[in-house]
Amino acid sequence: MNKKPTFSLDQEAQFSILFDKHYQRLYNYAYKLLNDIFTSEELVQETFIKLWEHYHKIDKSHRAIESFLIVTLKNKIIDHFRKDQTREKHNNLYSLYSDMLSEINTQWDLLQQIDIIYENLEQKTRDIFQLSRNEGLTYKEISIKKNISIKTVELHISTALIAFRKGLKNYL
Amino acid sequence: MDKSHISKAELWAYISKTADPDTIRKVELWKDSSEYDKELFSQITAIYLNTKEYPVSVEDAKNRFLRYPRNTKQKTVSKVYKLLKYAAMIAIIVTAAYTYQQFSESTSQLISEETSFGENKQLKLPDGSVVWLNASTLLTYKGNTPRTISLEGEAFFEVAKDTAHPFTVTTSDGLKIEALGTSFNVKSYSNTSIVETKLLTGKVAITSDKYLKERVLLAPDEKVIFDRNSKQFFKQDMVKREGRIAWREGKIEFENQSFREIANDLYVQYQVKLVFKNDEVANSKFTGVFDKNTPIREILEILKTSKEFDYHLITATDEWVIK
């Protein structure tokens, strides 16, 4: 009787790590498509629940887990749109969702591409760009924080933007 | 200032709303000029939009996930906690209980019987009494005193006659229901505010060291409700059909019950939670009988015909939000 809870604790610890690794990205992705905090959180939760249920029989490599998560989440988003569509049909507000299907795939490719671009940036450039993008700091604030000149900040930003323009040229 | 040339960094500052007033003026002039590069502007806007992170608490999500009851493994764990909370007793898994039962006649070994969501079970106690457990119920007793029962949930008892040994059922509030050759039903789910005792035949006395100075006696077709909030007892005659104890026939029955009370019955049967966002709806009363295998959605649809409300399911938590 003691064995099982111990095992599940282990699995909980593993899931804690998986949440840290994947949750924010999956949430970003869901939110971009759904534009709804509540539904996005729900669907990502359900995705992790499904992973939990299938965890014993899937490969524990990063790639396998990531692809399980994303395939599950994509399907949940598709289901969600389908349900919405049925609801709208009932209200005689017919809408197409085939555009949505390609959007679902494109969005994920795009997010992955953004991750790759970030990874290929130099650490310093990435830090500075993210201070601007995610923290909303001005160049002046960044220059003080990083103890560099504003010109250098601008240079890093510009380097990052060139990389993004190049890396995302198929999406922009 | 060079109006004709705008650097990407300036454009980025403008688009990301971190630019100083000089840069803003410069970019706006540029946008109105012939030098304006629409493609560059829209690309950088797209980079800005697509690199957006949406703030969310990963910790909250994680905690919610870890709290979510998943499989039988998890349930066993939570039942153990329930038991501990219940009486700080030794936990015994149900399957083992049967084995213990044979040896426990003369021991003080704790025996427990439980049902999960939607499950009913009939069992015979060592003294010959018969018990039907409704869903999500836990019944425990010591092997050497099978007529002293602890109950969490709902059960119907047909007590074997034995005047020398009173048959008692104790609830988590310490309410003691004592019977002599009787059939009665006790409903005491810890997540509701009432304990209800219905008597069909025989005689029942309810005592409580904490809440009662003298015992409450029940005659057939009477019921006593204990309100956990006000700590008060109410004695009522049973409505005719109540004596049927619908759940024993595989039915869920509501007799002029509030939606909130019905929600608990649905919870123990279907393991679904109803969350009310509208008090008026939660307090409206319904009467009806459903087969236990009626899908929850259908029940809600039927209830909807007599009172207007909206509902939707959150699948992750199995919660139905009622508005």
Rounded mean pLDDT of B208-236? 85
Q: Please, are residues A31 and B54 in contact by the beta-carbon 8 Å criterion? A: yes
Q: What's the pTM value of the predicted model, to 2 decimals?
A: 0.44
Average pLDDT over residues B235-246: 70
B18 and A28: CB-CB below 8 Å?
A: no
Q: Let me know whether B242 and B255 are in one domain.
A: no
The reply to whether B238 and B255 lie within a common domain is no
For the segment A4-17, the average pLDDT, to the nearest whole number, is 67
pLDDT score, position B13:
95
**In the predicted structure, residue A4 carries a pLDDT above the cut 50:** no
**Per-residue pLDDT, B211:** 84
Per-residue confidence at B243, pLDDT binned at 50, 70, 90?
low
Q: How far is CA B168 from the centre of its chain?
A: 27
pLDDT at B245 (0 to 100): 67
Q: Is the pLDDT confidence value at B232 over 70?
A: yes
Contact A53 B70 (CB under 8 A): yes
Comparing A45-54, A68-77, B120-129, the range with the smallest average pLDDT is B120-129
Domain identity same for B151 and B234: yes
Least confident of B2-16, B97-111, B164-178: B97-111
Same domain, B77 and B154: yes
Residues B201 and B233 in one domain: yes
- A138–B7 CB contact, under 8 Å: no
Q: Establish if A90 belongs to a structural domain.
A: yes
**What pLDDT score was predicted for residue B96?**
36
Distance (Å, rounded) from C-alpha B297 to C-alpha A72? 25
Q: What residue numbers bound the domain in which B13 lies? A: 8-50
Question: Is B80 found in the same domain as B99?
Answer: yes
For the four alpha carbons of A78, A82, A87 and A91, in that order, the dihedral sign comes to positive
Domain range for A28: 3-96
B314 and B181 inside one domain: no
Model confidence band, residue B95 (pLDDT cutoffs 50, 70, 90): very low
Contact B16 A27 (CB under 8 A): no
pLDDT tens string B260-307: 888 888 887 777 788 898 888 888 888 877 777 777 887 888 788 778
Q: Are residues B100 and B141 in the same domain?
A: yes
**Secondary structure of residue B141 in the 3-state scheme:** strand
Q: How many domains does chain B have?
A: 3
CATH of the domain at A30: 1.10.1740.10
Q: Is residue A127 part of a domain?
A: no
Domain containing B134 — which CATH number? 2.60.120.1440
Of the residues B246, B273, B289, the one at which a domain ends: B246
Is B305 domain-assigned? yes
State whether residue B1 sits within 8 Å of chain A by CB.
no
Best mutation target, A158, A162, A166, to test chain B (most B CBs within 10 A)? A158
Q: A96 to chain B nearest CA, in Å?
A: 23
Question: pLDDT of B135-187, one tens digit each?
Answer: 888 898 888 888 889 998 888 888 887 777 888 999 888 888 888 667 888 88
B90 and chain A in contact, CB less than 8 A:
no
- In a domain? residue B60: no
Q: Is residue B65 assigned to a domain?
A: no
- Are both B30 and B107 inside the same structural domain? no
Q: What is the mean pLDDT of chain B?
A: 78
Domain co-membership, B193 together with B310: no
In a domain, A8, yes or no: yes
Single-letter amino acid, residue B86? Y
Q: What percent of chain B has pLDDT over 70?
A: 82
Task: Select from B223, B246, B269 the last residue of a domain.
Answer: B246
How many inter-chain contacts (A to B, CB under 8 Å) are there? Answer: 126
pLDDT band at B2 (very low <50, low <70, confident <90, very high): very low
- Same domain? For B292 and B321 the reply is yes
Task: Count how many domains chain A has.
Answer: 1
Task: Identify all chain B residues contacting A40, using CB atoms and an 8 Å cutoff.
Answer: 54, 56
Confidence of residue A100 (pLDDT cuts 50, 70, 90): low
Contacts of B314 in chain A (CB under 8 A): 42
Q: In angstroms, what separates the C-alpha of B253 from chain A's closest C-alpha?
A: 31
A156 belongs to a structural domain: no
Kindly tell me if the per-residue pLDDT of A120 is higher than 90. Answer: yes
Confirm whether B269 is domain-assigned.
yes
**Is the residue at B220 inside a domain?**
yes
CATH number at residue B268: 3.55.50.30
pLDDT of residue B110: 81
Cβ neighbours around B56 below 10 Å, total: 19
Mean of all residue pLDDT scores within chain A: 83
Query: Which residues neighbour B191 within 8 Å (Cβ) at sequence distance 6 or greater?
Result: B264, B267
User: What was the pLDDT predicted at B241?
Assistant: 60
Name which of A19, A153, A157 is nearest B61 (Cβ-Cβ).
A19
- Domain annotation covers residue A171: no
What's the sign of the alpha-carbon dihedral B118, B122, B123, B128?
Answer: positive
Tell me if B3 is assigned to some domain: no
With contacts defined as CB-CB under 8 Å, which chain B residues touch A44? 61
Distance from CA of B54 to the nearest CA of A (A): 6
DSSP state of B17: T
Does A113 reside within a domain? no
Q: Does A149 touch chain B (CB under 8 A)?
A: no
**Which residue in A133, A149, A168 has the most chain B C-beta atoms within 10 A of its own C-beta, making it the best mutation to test that interface?**
A133
Q: Does B58 reside within a domain?
A: no
The tokens for B257 are 């019950």
Q: Do residues B158 and B203 both lie within one domain? A: yes
Domain boundary residue, one of B183, B214, B246: B246
Q: Cβ contacts (< 8 Å) between B61 and chain A: which residues?
A: 19, 23, 27, 41, 44-45
